[in-house]
Structure 1
């Protein structure tokens, strides 16, 4: 094992498949790399949708990162349980989730929670419930800067800001803009597309600050545009995938030096034909929203070609003579790690002595306790 590849587990025979593996030393290195890419780590607000795990959150906290972003109330509760200082629920609470969000605020008084708003009627419901529960809800205006998924159009933001300013029990603290539509591989193209968004955010925040008489925070971007916002603005930045990285981002964004830190391992369970092998890695074990050939890449079997995938099976072919036998372990790097992590209840890690430990992917649940 002395010359084994970085990903080979010394006790792979003891690990059930399929399993999700976290490589802790690589996670720590990715956190270090992230901090070195920005002038002030207090501007970092990483998105936890990638890892959904208390232990990874605690590694980030230990490194001095205090602010976080999440997409579900379960993820927000995980951050409260982790002792995070500042949590932005990057979602507009609607219906029963309004009371869930208020319960979250009350249950974790040492964590500062905020949420997104892009609709006045929803904001009025937030304010009404906050008044009934005797609390203040901090809000960010969510802006639609081109992704057309959520947010108010920029030319309607000032009117919404003025309306929101009249509501009691809401505290306006900033603007939020997610530019997920900018995912070009060429950095030059991403910079060109980000430039007008940066100008919009700067100009709009200045206008709203003059109206409201207070400084506003700006939270912007994701992983693809993180290097741009980190260097060219003073905005809070919200990369997420960096902490584990994946094949899709590794191929697309070569300027970002992060290391793959999570793999799925599987075993050959059958050889249905001379040139075919079948693994226990169906689409219940690796994210399957991408085309068949772009779901998983096997580090120790890059020549294998994906033929088909079903719920519990992945069929691969090799036109050359191969030595894969039933029981052979393959290490797969997912193309999209975030939804892959959400498929597992636990991640396998090795402690300093090489013993198997398990970290709960606790926020894969829709509800933890709240």
Structure 2
């Protein structure tokens, strides 16, 4: 007797599609692997930009994780709403975001908030506004170790900036932030070599700051691709995010990591425009519209279908002549990139033992919750 696939939903008829669905048991298994990969839970600072929900993040808290990373003020507020003890806004705030961050600090005093800076101008503005609000903001210097997106190169300029931060009354330098998301080699040995090379100047900066009399700076490093490498270091905080749901993209290039897909997009056939074309209800608004069209979503129960066109509400795929698909058929799709896909949905339906059991609201997909 053929076994029912893990993703199958017995009461799928009650789901209006396209629908984001999450499998909590698999989420818990991913969290268990995460916590088992480090020697101390205090070394984990997972990024919540993937799940954006209180329910998923509570599972991390229940697993003993107390430190978190986020990319938006709304994500920071979502974390504070569930009493997350330590929240790093891994983003350098402009003036408007500074006001919002300071408001969060006043509204949720039980949560310690921090943020990134990579220049003195922003740091001074942050300090001045913090002093006016009667607050001190912990900050991490953002390093550019090859991502070429934000941060400053790991040079003596970092030592200068760190020293200047220590003189500002409204901020308190805590450490260094080094994201190496550009390192995605499928060969773990090659990825490890590149990761170690990028990390070496970060370690040297830490030692140099200690030599100048600073407390040992905290190092917040890496993402999902380099997690197994940084996890073996004794004194860094690791901040993967995608691990919680996983996706087709990382599954294909990070084969050494045993995380498993825990969130899918369910779609239906809505039209058969000709003998080989099938139209599904999963358009740009339903799955991350990045990368090659053929790779945006993989259907577990129809892997042979080839995407040939996508618009806002539709995905057209090519099937073989004489296929048996019909209008109303349900497809279970694994997105290539789950993080921006989740942000397209206000809620995710939870699936347990093949049944729809509830909803997780994607509360921090909004730019503003209350602050």
User: Shorter-chain TM-score: what band?
Assistant: over 0.9
Question: Shift of residue 50 of structure 1?
Answer: 0.5
Indicate the residue corresponding to 1:14 in structure 2: 14
Contact 2:102 2:130 survives alignment (8 Å): yes
Question: Shift of residue 226 of structure 1?
Answer: 0.5
Q: Which whole-Å deviations, capped at 9, do the CAs of 1:150-181 have from their partners, x for residues lacking one? A: 00121121111121111112111110000111
How do 1:343-358 and structure 2 match up within 5 A?
Answer: 343-350=344-351, 354-358=355-359
How do 1:209-228 and structure 2 match up within 5 A?
Answer: 209-228=210-229
Q: Distance between the aligned counterparts of 1:5 and 1:21, measured in 2? A: 15
Question: Shift of residue 197 of structure 1?
Answer: 2.3
Q: Distance between the aligned counterparts of 2:25 and 2:246, measured in 1? A: 13
Question: Shift of residue 320 of structure 1?
Answer: 4.0
Indicate the residue corresponding to 1:281 in structure 2: 282
Considering only aligned residues, what root-mean-square deviation do their CA atoms show, in Å?
A: 1.4
Matched, 1:317 2:321: no
Contact 2:9 2:354 survives alignment (8 Å): no
Q: Distance between the aligned counterparts of 2:146 and 2:193, measured in 1? A: 14
Indicate the residue corresponding to 1:268 in structure 2: 269
Indicate the residue corresponding to 1:139 in structure 2: 139
Question: Relative to structure 1, is the Cα distance of residues 351 and 332 closer, same or farther in structure 2, using a 3 angstrom cutoff?
Answer: closer
Question: Shift of residue 325 of structure 1?
Answer: 0.6
Question: Shift of residue 233 of structure 1?
Answer: 4.1
Q: Distance between the aligned counterparts of 2:192 and 2:199, measured in 1? A: 10
Q: Indicate the SS of the match to 1:257.
A: coil
Q: Distance between the aligned counterparts of 2:2 and 2:27, measured in 1? A: 22
TM-score, normalisation: structure 1: 0.98
Question: Shift of residue 352 of structure 1?
Answer: 7.0
Indicate the residue corresponding to 1:176 in structure 2: 177
Indicate the residue corresponding to 2:206 in structure 1: 205
Q: Distance between the aligned counterparts of 1:28 and 1:288, measured in 2? A: 28
Q: Distance between the aligned counterparts of 2:234 and 2:193, measured in 1? A: 15
Q: Which whole-Å deviations, capped at 9, do the CAs of 1:54-85 have from their partners, x for residues lacking one? A: 00000000010111000000000000011111
Q: Distance between the aligned counterparts of 2:270 and 2:75, measured in 1? A: 35
Q: Indicate the SS of the match to 1:284.
A: coil
Matched, 1:150 2:153: no
Q: Distance between the aligned counterparts of 2:356 and 2:306, measured in 1? A: 33
Question: Shift of residue 23 of structure 1?
Answer: 0.4
TM-score, normalisation: structure 2: 0.97
Q: Indicate the SS of the match to 2:283.
A: coil
Indicate the residue corresponding to 1:117 in structure 2: 117
Unpaired runs of at least 5, structure 2: none
Q: Which whole-Å deviations, capped at 9, do the CAs of 1:258-279 have from their partners, x for residues lacking one? A: 1100000010000000011100
Higher alpha-carbon deviation: 281-290 or 353-362: 353-362
Indicate the residue corresponding to 2:38 in structure 1: 38
Contact 1:351 1:357 survives alignment (8 Å): no
Indicate the residue corresponding to 1:48 in structure 2: 48
Question: Shift of residue 10 of structure 1?
Answer: 1.1
Q: Which whole-Å deviations, capped at 9, do the CAs of 1:14-48 have from their partners, x for residues lacking one? A: 11100000000000000001111111121000000
Question: Shift of residue 122 of structure 1?
Answer: 0.5
Q: Which whole-Å deviations, capped at 9, do the CAs of 1:86-126 have from their partners, x for residues lacking one? A: 10000011121111010011111111110001010110001
Matched, 1:90 2:98: no
Matched, 1:235 2:220: no
Number of aligned residues: 370
Question: Shift of residue 353 of structure 1?
Answer: 9.4
Matched, 1:339 2:330: no
Matched, 1:65 2:61: no
How do 1:239-254 and structure 2 match up within 5 A?
Answer: 239-254=240-255
Q: Distance between the aligned counterparts of 1:232 and 1:104, measured in 2? A: 33
Unpaired runs of at least 5, structure 1: none
Q: Distance between the aligned counterparts of 2:192 and 2:3, measured in 1? A: 41
Q: Indicate the SS of the match to 1:231.
A: coil
Contact 2:37 2:228 survives alignment (8 Å): yes
Q: Which whole-Å deviations, capped at 9, do the CAs of 1:206-245 have from their partners, x for residues lacking one? A: 1112224312110000000000000134200001000000
Q: Distance between the aligned counterparts of 1:231 and 1:162, measured in 2? A: 30
